[in-house]
Chain A
Amino acid sequence: MDDTLALVMFSGTDDKLQAAAVLTAGAAAVGRPVHMFLQYWALDAFRADRINADHGAAPEAGADGRAAMANLRSAGQASWADTLRQAKELGDVTIQACSLSMDLLKLEQSDLDPVVDGVEGVAAFMFAAGSGQIVFI
């Protein structure tokens, strides 16, 4: 489907995951399907035992950026995980783990938070993305 937003999640820091969760929720709110593909360190952040942990920020955030993120969070901003859960309730949002990254990190689907729908390979991701845009975060 051409209006599908396909997001490839690579980075596992809270700032990038939050940015992606906001895009996902916004797309869901306007009725656009979202297909999220979790690779490498992003996948690691979706482990059931780590999803609520502090995943830090990208290096460019610096100390000021990290403090600004902490301020937003203490003002009641929903976590990226909660934002994704709400987006899934709202619209057509699918979250799939990359099978190669599952092997790399030695994970089973039972190790992942239930917000992750399943495990797929890159061909399945490409099929889901269709001819729409692919965004790499």
Chain B
Amino acid sequence: MALEIAIRVDARNLSCPMPIVKTAQAFKTAAAGALVEVVATDPGSVKDFEAWSKATGNPLVESGVEGGVYRFVLRKK
């Protein structure tokens, strides 16, 4: 079953810390329970999104990489 994504963040070709900054900005407008999908090309984003999820309490629902593009799905708590 495909997840229903409320907001998509394209952070491809952005260097640290912009993938996290753009995501945190998107979360400010997201409704509680909404899913936010992020695509990024910064390899550091894997650990960054795990840490950001833990620090903010917004669960990381999916994480993966395909063709050098990292994809994360997070849920607003």
The reply to whether chain A is a binding partner of chain B is yes
Chain A residues in contact with chain B, CB under 8 A? 22, 25-26, 28-31, 72, 75-78, 83, 86-87, 89-91
Complex CA gap A22/B16 in Å reads 7
Contacts of B51 in A (CB 8 A): 30
Give the total of B residues in contact with A, Cβ under 8 Å: 16
Query: Which residues in B have their C-beta under 8 angstroms from that of A30?
Result: 51-52, 55-56
B21 within 8 A of A: yes
Contact residues of B: prevailing secondary structure: helix
Within 8 Å CB of A72, what residues of B?
A: 15
- Interchain nearest-CB distance for A93 vs B (Å): 12
Chain B residue at minimal CB-CB distance from A24: B17
Least CB separation from B55: chain A residue: A30
Select from chain B the residue with minimum beta-carbon distance to A72: B15
Interface residues of B in 46-67 (CB under 8 A from A): 51-52, 55-56
Q: Does B20 contact A29, Cβ atoms closer than 8 Å?
A: yes
In order of increasing CB-CB distance, the 10 nearest A-B pairs are A30-B55, A29-B24, A25-B17, A29-B20, A26-B17, A25-B21, A22-B17, A77-B15, A90-B24, A86-B21
